[in-house]
Amino acid sequence: MPPLTVLVIGRGANRGIGFELARKLTVNGHQVFGTYRPVTRDDPTVQQLKAYKIPTFEVDLTDEDSIMRLAEDYATHPRGGALDVLINCAGIYFPLSDRPFQAFTADDLLEHFKVNTIGPFLTSKHLTRSLRGSPWGGRILNISSDAASIADNTGGNLPYRLSKTALNQLTATIAAEGTRPSLFEDGYSSLEAAVGGVVGAGNIANGGGGAGALTAISVHPGHTGFWKRDDLERCVDGVAALVERLCDGDDGRKGGRGRELEAGAFYRWDGKKLSW
């Protein structure tokens, strides 16, 4: 596989998933970009990304102007321009503030939706042009959570749960609309590249240089944070493998088949499909 261009939104604080994923994908030979929030600009952990020579941009997901600036900065970066994989990793989760659902307010919900749902929607929207420049047609990997599952609902942390369930719907909608010309204002000619439910299959028809179908998956990255039930390194290795499987095939123009990853589906870090 040729090196991919990958933008990881959310560098992760200290041992956060975003940082470890950016590091792993860089070690695997890909051109990785990371982001941090303007308010954490002077945090020593930002320097860790720079030590790995990972180009960084500032973005605050609660500010659409900031996201539009990110898209412009990426498009004009000497190593940017086209984007193979966008990883929406940034998110907020407050386990110590959990309460019965009656105790949460509309503002609690809005706070989570702004970062966990609307932020990934806006990054996907404003980076679409760069994603279309990829020979694979652009892949979006939304870092979700098993808490998003309606089928497997154990209760707790309603604002987080709702915002990640909505993120999964964004994933499924991008995958469903990725083959429709109406998705793009200037006429996206991917009708001949019917996705057929399998990530990457759409590229086969393209042959020479046309973009494939924009598509997305959601991924539960494992419980590596507050609950520490899973091993961070193993989980990050698994998510990195999913990133590479999204663009499987030696050259997007020849048509990677995505090794049976289903467009718009919900996966665990180890590739197991999760139920909605």
Ligand X SMILES: NC(=O)c1ccc[n+]([C@@H]2O[C@H](COP(=O)([O-])OP(=O)(O)OC[C@H]3O[C@@H](n4cnc5c(N)ncnc54)[C@H](OP(=O)(O)O)[C@@H]3O)[C@@H](O)[C@H]2O)c1
What is the binding site for ligand X (CB under 6 A)?
A: 10-13, 16-18, 36-37, 40, 59-62, 89-93, 115, 143, 145, 220-221, 223-225, 227
Smallest gap from residue 223 Cβ to ligand X (A): 4
Alpha-carbon span 152 to 11, nearest angstrom: 29
Based on CB atoms, which residue is closest to ligand X, 180 or 234?
234
Closer of 16 and 80 to ligand X (Cβ):
16
**Which tokens in the block code for residue 93?**
């989760």
Q: Residues 15, 21, 22, 24: is their CA dihedral positive or negative?
A: positive
Tokens (6 digits) for 191: 């009708």
Q: Are 173 and 236 in contact (CB under 8 A)?
A: no
CB of 29 to ligand X, least distance (A): 23
Query: Closest distance between ligand X and the C-beta of residue 256, in Å?
Result: 26
CB of 197 to ligand X, least distance (A): 26
Residue closer to ligand X (CB basis): 125 or 257 = 125
- Identify which of residues 1 and 232 has a Cβ nearer to ligand X in the complex: 232
* Upper half-sphere CA count for residue 204 (Cβ side, 13 Å): 11
- Closest residue to ligand X, judged by C-beta, is 91
Shortest spacing between CB 46 and ligand X, in angstroms: 8
Beta-carbon contacts of 28 under 8 Å, excluding residues fewer than 6 positions away, are 240, 244
| Cα angle: 152, vertex 269, 52; to 5 degrees | 145
Of the candidates 156, 157, 271, 170, the one whose C-alpha atom is nearest the C-alpha of residue 222 is 271
Between residues 45 and 210, which has the closer beta carbon with respect to ligand X?
45
